Amino acid sequence: MRLLKRDQKPVILRERVPLREPDGTSYEGWSPEGFTLQGNVQPAGGKVMAEQYGERLGYVLVMYIERSDKALELLKAFNGERKGYGAWVYAPETAEEPDYKVVAVKGWRHIVIELERVRS
């Protein structure tokens, strides 16, 4: 499968990091610095994904991206170091909370990122 430039959309990814309030209270939030990946974003579907996600399948997107240094770094950080990431797919870049979270990163011919809608 070839990824066409016209079908690619920018998605901003930010890492989940521990933050601290001025009074010393700690909590988890999203890193202010993020990075953008260009990829083909599609609704998830198919028999395997239906078995995997069940009724949540309607809230899942699949993003296909070309192999690059940043994509391979994401693959290593997510799978090897178990870091969490939020994705700003349809939400504006200035939004505090992501509209999707990264639930899987798979390194096949293309890097495949599965995103699940964050329910607010």
CA distance 94 to 103: 22
Q: Is residue 37 pLDDT above 80, yes or no?
A: yes
Provide the residue range defining the domain that includes 110.
Answer: 30-117
Angle at 96 between CA 87 and CA 115, to 5 degrees: 15
pLDDT given at position 1: 62
* Token duo for residue 101: 């979270």
Is 70 a member of any domain?
Answer: yes
Which uninterrupted H or E stretch holds 51? helix 47-53
Mean pLDDT score of the chain: 91
Is 61 a member of any domain?
Answer: yes
CA distance 116 to 89: 11
CA distance 45 to 101: 18
To 10 degrees, the CA torsion angle through 120, 38, 67, 64? 60
To 10 degrees, the CA torsion angle through 82, 2, 116, 36? 70
Write phi, then psi, for 68 (nearest 5 degrees): -150, 175
Is 18 a member of any domain?
Answer: no
3-state secondary structure at position 69 = helix
Domain count, the chain: 1
Is 92 a member of any domain?
Answer: yes
Span 72-109, pLDDT tens digits = 999 998 988 888 999 999 999 899 999 999 999 999 88
pLDDT band, residue 120 (cuts 50/70/90): low
Is 7 a member of any domain?
Answer: no
The pTM for the full model equals 0.87
